[in-house]
Amino acid sequence: FEDFKCLSCDKANYKLIEKAKNEKIETVWDRAEAMQPQCGFGEMGLCCTNCSMGPCRIVKVSEDGPKKGICGADEDTIAARNLARSIAAGSSAHSDHGRDIAHALYNAAKNPESGYKVKNPEKLISLAKEWGISTENLDIKDIAAKVAETALQEFGKPFGHLRFVDRAPEDRIDIWKKMNVVPRAIDRDIVEVLHSTHIGCDADYRNIMVAATRAALSDGWGGSMIGTELSDILFGVPEPHEIEANLGVFKEDEVNLVIHGHEPTLSEAILVAVNDPELVELAKKQGAEGIDLVGMCCTGNEIAMRHGIPMAGNFFQQELAIITGAVDAMVVDVQCIMPALSQAAKCYHTKLITTSPKAKIPGAIHMQFNEEEAIESAKKIVREAVSNFKNRRGNILIPQEKSKGFVGYSNEAIINALDGVANSVAHPMGTVKPLADAIKSGVLRGAAAIVGCNNHKVLHDKGHEELAKELIKNDVLVVTTGCGAYACIKEGLMSKEATKFCGKGLATVCELVKIPPVLHMGSCVDISRILLLLSELAKFMNVDIKDLPAAGAAPEWMSEKALSIGTYVVASGVYTMLGVAPQVTGSENLTRFLTDDIKDIYGGCFDIEANPQKAAEKIIDHIEKKRKSLNI
């Protein structure tokens, strides 16, 4: 498998990439190769298709060639407009996810047919109080309806600012006010980016970034946070579970159903359906031992965190899952679903089932998931999967590779775990004090978040794993979400044994409070949990987020959502390392703005470093500088 080592560092993938080659099925790596060389104008962000006088492109590599678009837009305007539109698209994806969860909460309150129920009434009541909703004489359903309606208003309210903004430290809110980026209403902030980047509107790259930053903050402190908080209310606050991960989780003798995509509204309903006795019986009648539900991408993170469902693989493993020949159905909703799946599915018996009106794929079976009657709808989908077991063709290869690890570290779970220390040395329980103390004493040097996707420009999973290992070796606690979380659990970094990779301080903390050194905090919308943890820590230490010895990293990012995340994280004051350069490098001004000038405004900035070792060095250096300024 020597050849495949330059594609992925996950051994489970090698046999399947070879199988794909033998069976003449193309994968993401083949298509990436066929795409070379990639368009230089696009790569630098210098191609504008915003109006039909174009496409216009700016030539940077030589003196000759146009330096302005036909309307006169220069490289700064074009690159900034392209970036801003991507950020708006990313924010829209997370936020629309949040909106769907709010609708599900409303259904839980008003529509018993939906099958949704409030699983965590305490969190619901506490959010109602935070939002000033009177709970007096109301039952849980009424409160749920009011909270859901209030959440839905956040998308289009005409006045004021987003409610969750008030959770940020005061100094942070002051910076946002000064910069005029306080998010107001999610849809409005996204629309404003689309408007201001229309032909003949905003041409000032710094001002374009004001609108883009506001739309990004609308995601992190708005849509994503609504998604996370309301999911916790509906489906429960994640708690630590030990699970298995990687493509070895498929079972030869069971119906293998992969749930892939993002929204727990679907994956939670599918989980109920696969446990329905009638459907289990049907599986047995087909000759299967049972139904094996496994998750893929962020929806897999959601059900792993809440129910201990195995995590089959991340973004670059979606085709390989089908290539095992053991997947009876792959059920998808929205986001990060490669259209290529339908081609792969055709080569096997696998049914690719799309469920969302927002995401149909030619060649797939479309079975619309109806949230008004979620469980019934999910049962129909599971029935389709189960009845496909008998059509397996025998060309099955399930890799042996799978690892074990602990997932499910919501902020509540982290604080709970840290109470282990609190108990032992008489600290107050239920606060971030033990975390703050561990950082202050230097046992932990700081914390870093490793998040985001896979990208062929980085060796698959290597960016995540190597960076995580290097950081924990230097006593930096790592938290992770999304496809980064998959990479880390597959490498064993969420297991009890992972302390062997840690420096002495971090190893001591992990052993004392029984946590792994890399904490699985969920899906990409759950990066809002990380914002809240930072916010709580900053408030407790009486500083702003920008002062904390903390950093973010997206070593293998590729999606527009990741751009939105990066932007709201930087605007929240966090130094953020990217493993792949954004498509802005054709504008020196914008590049300098994002990697340097922005530091003076928000305290956070982007940095770009493809080499994980060097990226780790820079992050550690940043953390040590922050420690010094804090005098700790």
Binding interface with ligand NFS (CB under 6 A): 297-298, 314-315, 335-336, 452-453, 482-483, 524, 559, 561-562
Min separation Cβ 246 and ligand NFS, Å: 15
Contact (CB, 8 A) for 451 and 480 = yes
Min separation Cβ 464 and ligand NFS, Å: 10
Nearer to ligand NFS, 334 or 545 (CB): 334
Nearer to ligand NFS, 373 or 560 (CB): 560
Residue with tokens 């009424």: 142
Helix axes 140-153, 224-235, angle to 10 degrees: 170
Query: Phi and psi at residue 506, in whole multiples of 5°?
Result: -65, -40
Min separation Cβ 579 and ligand NFS, Å: 13
Give kind and range of the element (H or E) at residue 478. strand 476-481
* Amino acid making up residue 212: A
Min separation Cβ 438 and ligand NFS, Å: 28
Min separation Cβ 524 and ligand NFS, Å: 3
Shortest Cβ contact with ligand NFS: which residue?
Answer: 482
Nearer to ligand NFS, 196 or 480 (CB): 480
Nearer to ligand NFS, 551 or 563 (CB): 563
Residue with tokens 């108990």: 423
Contact (CB, 8 A) for 344 and 323 = yes
Min separation Cβ 478 and ligand NFS, Å: 16
Give kind and range of the element (H or E) at residue 321. helix 318-323
Nearer to ligand NFS, 386 or 453 (CB): 453
Beta strands in 324-475 (DSSP E): 329-332, 351-354, 365-366, 403-407, 446-450
Min separation Cβ 554 and ligand NFS, Å: 8
Contact (CB, 8 A) for 79 and 590 = yes
Nearer to ligand NFS, 59 or 610 (CB): 610
Contact (CB, 8 A) for 382 and 276 = yes
Contact (CB, 8 A) for 308 and 243 = yes
Nearer to ligand NFS, 453 or 506 (CB): 453
> Six-digit token pair at 250?
């498929």
C-alpha 602/C-alpha 172 separation (Å) is: 8
Nearer to ligand NFS, 311 or 477 (CB): 311
Nearer to ligand NFS, 210 or 297 (CB): 297
Q: Cα Rg for the chain, rounded, in angstroms? A: 24
C-alpha 600/C-alpha 610 separation (Å) is: 25
- Beta strand 476-481 with 446-450: parallel, antiparallel or unpaired? parallel
C-alpha 189/C-alpha 158 separation (Å) is: 11
Query: Within 13 A of 167's CA, how many CA atoms are on the CB side?
Result: 25
C-alpha 393/C-alpha 499 separation (Å) is: 43
Min separation Cβ 289 and ligand NFS, Å: 29
Give kind and range of the element (H or E) at residue 629. helix 612-630
Nearer to ligand NFS, 93 or 471 (CB): 93
Min separation Cβ 411 and ligand NFS, Å: 19
C-alpha 119/C-alpha 470 separation (Å) is: 39
Min separation Cβ 205 and ligand NFS, Å: 24
Min separation Cβ 58 and ligand NFS, Å: 28
Nearer to ligand NFS, 82 or 224 (CB): 224
The residues, ordered by sequence, that sit 6+ positions from 93 with a Cβ below 8 Å of its Cβ are 334, 335, 560, 561
Nearer to ligand NFS, 10 or 76 (CB): 10
DSSP secondary structure string for all residues of 192-243: HHHHHTSTTS---HHHHHHHHHHHHHHIIIIIHHHHHHHHHHHH-----EEE
SS3 266: helix
Min separation Cβ 558 and ligand NFS, Å: 7
Nearer to ligand NFS, 353 or 562 (CB): 562
Beta bridge mates, 625:
none
Min separation Cβ 561 and ligand NFS, Å: 4
SS3 161: coil
